[in-house]
Structure 1
Amino acid sequence: MVAESPRVAMVAGETSGDLLAGLLLDGLRARWPAVASMGIGGPRMQERGFQAWWPSERLAVHGYSVELVRRLLGILRIRRQLRARLLADKPDVFIGVDAPDFNLGLEADLRAAGIKTVHFVCPSIWAWRADRVEKIRSSADHVLCIFPFEPKLLARQGIAATYVGHPLASVIPRVPDKAAARAQLGLTVHDEVLAILPGSRSAEVAYIAKPFFQAAALIKKARPAIKIVVPAVPALRARIEQIARECGVLDALTIVTGQSHLVLAACDVTLIASGTATLEAALFKRPMVISYHMHPISWRLMRRKQLQPWVGLPNILCREFVVPELLQDAATPDALATAVQDWLDARLQDPARIQRLEQRFTALHDDLQRDTPRLAAHAIQNLLA
Structure 2
Amino acid sequence: MGALKVFILAGEPSGDALGAALMAGLKSQVPGVAFDGIGGPLMQARGLVSRFDMSELTVMGIAEVLPKYRHLKRRIAETAQAVIDTAPDVLITIDSPDFSLRVARLVKAASDIRTVHYVAPTVWAWRPERAKKMAAMIDHVLALFPFEPPYMEAEGMQCDFVGHPAATVPRASAAAQAEFRAQHGLDDAAPLILVLPGSRRGEVARMSPVFGEALGRLARTRPDMKLVVPAAGSVADAVRTEVSKWPIAPLVLDPRGQDADAALAEKRVAFAAADVALATSGTVALELAAAGTPMVSAYDLHWLSRAIISRMVTTDTGSLINHVADTRIVPEVVGKDFNADNVVRAMQGLLADPDAQRDAMELTMDLLGRGGADPGLRAARAVLNRMG
Partner residue, 1:351: none
Partner residue, 2:365: 365
TM-score using structure 1 length: 0.92
CA-to-partner distance for each residue in 1:162-218, whole Å, 9 max, x for gaps? 110012211x22x54355224224334433111111001111111000110111111
Name stretches of at least 5 consecutive residues in structure 2 with no aligned partner: 256-265
Partner residue, 1:325: 332
Report deviation, 1:285.
2.0
The answer to whether structure 1 residue 379 and structure 2 residue 377 are counterparts is no
Relative to 1, partners in 2 of residues 1:373 and 1:256: Cα closer, same or farther, differing over 3 Å?
A: closer
Check whether the contact 1:179–1:266 (CA below 8 A) recurs between aligned residues.
no
Alignment of 1:1-385 (within 5 A): 4-63=2-61, 65-112=62-109, 113-170=111-168, 172-173=169-170, 175-186=171-182, 187-250=186-249, 253-258=250-255, 259-347=266-354, 354=355, 356-369=356-369, 370-371=372-373, 372-385=375-388
Relative to 1, partners in 2 of residues 1:238 and 1:45: Cα closer, same or farther, differing over 3 Å?
A: closer
Report deviation, 1:146.
0.7
1 CA distance for matches of 2:228 and 2:43? 28
Count of aligned pairs between the two proteins: 371
2 CA distance for matches of 1:178 and 1:239? 32
2 CA distance for matches of 1:99 and 1:378? 23
Report deviation, 1:287.
1.3
- Please tell me the residue identity of whatever aligns with 1:306: V
Report deviation, 1:87.
1.1
SS of the equivalent of 2:279 reads strand
Check whether the contact 1:268–1:286 (CA below 8 A) recurs between aligned residues.
yes
- Please tell me the residue identity of whatever aligns with 2:381: H
2 CA distance for matches of 1:245 and 1:176? 29
Check whether the contact 1:92–1:384 (CA below 8 A) recurs between aligned residues.
no
- Please tell me the residue identity of whatever aligns with 2:363: A
CA-to-partner distance for each residue in 1:94-137, whole Å, 9 max, x for gaps? 00011111112222332341101101110111111111112221
CA-to-partner distance for each residue in 1:285-341, whole Å, 9 max, x for gaps? 221111112211111111111010011211122223111100123122122122112
TM-score using structure 2 length: 0.91
2 CA distance for matches of 1:67 and 1:86? 27
SS of the equivalent of 1:139 reads coil
- Please tell me the residue identity of whatever aligns with 1:277: V
1 CA distance for matches of 2:235 and 2:107? 35
SS of the equivalent of 2:296 reads strand
2 CA distance for matches of 1:230 and 1:68? 26
Check whether the contact 1:271–1:291 (CA below 8 A) recurs between aligned residues.
yes
Partner residue, 2:260: none
SS of the equivalent of 2:43 reads helix
SS of the equivalent of 1:67 reads helix
2 CA distance for matches of 1:340 and 1:176? 24
2 CA distance for matches of 1:311 and 1:292? 9
Check whether the contact 2:176–2:269 (CA below 8 A) recurs between aligned residues.
no
Check whether the contact 1:179–1:189 (CA below 8 A) recurs between aligned residues.
no
Q: Which is further off, 96-105 or 205-214?
A: 96-105
Q: Which is further off, 98-107 or 301-310?
A: 98-107
Query: Where does structure 1 differ by over 6 angstroms across 4 or more consecutive aligned residues?
Result: none
- Please tell me the residue identity of whatever aligns with 1:57: S
CA-to-partner distance for each residue in 1:237-260, whole Å, 9 max, x for gaps? 34333333333323xx22221444
Check whether the contact 2:327–2:360 (CA below 8 A) recurs between aligned residues.
no
Relative to 1, partners in 2 of residues 1:57 and 1:235: Cα closer, same or farther, differing over 3 Å?
A: closer
Using the aligned pairs only, state the percent identity: 32
Name stretches of at least 5 consecutive residues in structure 1 with no aligned partner: 348-353
